[in-house]
Amino acid sequence: QENKDILPYVIALVATLSVNEVLTSGLVKIQKNSQELCINLDDVRRQWIGQGEPLLFGDMMVLLKAVGALDHQNSKNDLSICTRYGLRPKAMTEIRKIRRQLTQIVKSILPETATVLDARLLPPSEQQICLLRKVLAAGMVDRLAKKIEGSVVINGHKANNAYQTLLLEEPVFIHPSSVLANDSPPFVCYQELHETSRIFIKDICAIQMDWIVQINPHLCSFGPIEEEPSPRYDETQDKLLCHRKATIGQRVSWSLGPPVETIFSNNTVDRYRWFAKFFLDGIICPRLLQFRPALLCSSNAMVKSWASLMERTQLLLNALVAKDIDSRTQLKEVWSAQPKYLLDVYCDWLPESLHAQVRSLWPPVPSVLKK
């Protein structure tokens, strides 16, 4: 439901970002209390969006508020708000058309969203804004920029608040018209580059770099498994989880913060070693927990560097690798066809006096019928 609630805003953003030069900058004259005032549009827009999550949403918040404000005009043809906030009337008209088309397409695919999509666009809540920032981080993962600490030299002059992008060697800067120009968040995503005497990034939204690991882990590079916290088996997900440091980028490599908890990589034998340990500990199959105190060798041996020197560790590891087993679900599937799978290699870890008891309950999961 939460995802459906942000659909109207996603559609509005897609429509808005499909149109060039939506915003204008500079000074504009308006009438207020019978007086003609000269105002700076950039300052007006900064006041318009406020603080907190709306400010972190940056220029995207301005664009959303513009679309929402037009929604609330008495007449669809009333574009007077464009003058007040520096919006190009032709651009807003085009955005309205694209938004209408996208809305109809989504409604045809997801009829249950009709009520949400047909409603007027109210200002998003802080929770919705946070979700929208994550959507942008996912969609603009190739357009990320990280603030450079200290100053850089541009054309022989020092410059502060520069950013490094994943794509360019040259430093870039937030465009002066951006509502985030004075805040310089540590990490941002952007819609476009604009080159003059410097390279500027436009249509900015502040993001958190640790979101990238959650949203696009396949685009990240991960370091070795951290010893602390140690890996664990998550029963709800039926997956092995571990903590690793993550980076993103090929030309440059940015740290994505402290070690994060992720699933094991498919290309590492460590996932089988740790699954074997948790199997011996009775975590994968609780019926085996009663035998843990009687193990002839600690289950920790499975994840030690010298594990290959012991025959019983290698037999168990090889058995798991051969069937590509690293989850309880996979184990049950094999047991349904081969009920004796792992029985002998498990018995090698126990005194002979317990073998008959183990055989009587094998396979050690209640949902698998013995054959």
pTM: predicted TM-score of the whole model, two decimal places:
0.76
In the block, tokens 């204008």 appear at 24
Residue 371 has what pLDDT?
47
Q: 180: helix, coil or strand? A: coil
Q: How far apart are CA 9 and CA 109, in angstroms?
A: 17
- Beta-carbon-side half-sphere exposure of residue 14 (alpha carbons within 13 Å): 16
Would you give the DSSP letter of residue 237? T
Burial of 161 (0-12, 13-18, 19+ CB in 10 A): middle
In angstroms, how far is CA 198 from the centroid of its own chain? 31
Count CB atoms within 10 A of the CB of residue 179: 24
Q: Where does 88-205 have alpha helices with state H?
A: 89-109, 114-118, 126-139
Q: How far apart are CA 6 and CA 10, in angstroms?
A: 6
- Residue ranges of the domains in the chain? 2-128, 144-206, 210-263, 270-361
- Beta-carbon-side half-sphere exposure of residue 177 (alpha carbons within 13 Å): 18
pLDDT by residue for the chain (371 residues), tens only, comes to 455 589 999 999 999 999 988 877 766 565 565 565 666 677 777 777 888 999 999 999 988 888 887 777 644 555 667 777 778 888 888 998 999 899 999 989 988 877 677 677 888 899 999 999 999 999 998 899 999 988 787 766 777 889 999 888 889 999 988 999 888 899 999 999 988 888 999 999 999 988 988 888 888 889 899 999 999 999 999 999 999 999 998 888 888 888 989 888 887 899 999 999 999 999 999 999 999 999 999 999 999 988 888 999 999 999 999 999 999 999 999 999 999 999 999 999 999 999 999 999 999 987 655 54
Residue 74 has what pLDDT?
46
Tokens of 37: 């005032």
Residue 204 has what pLDDT?
94
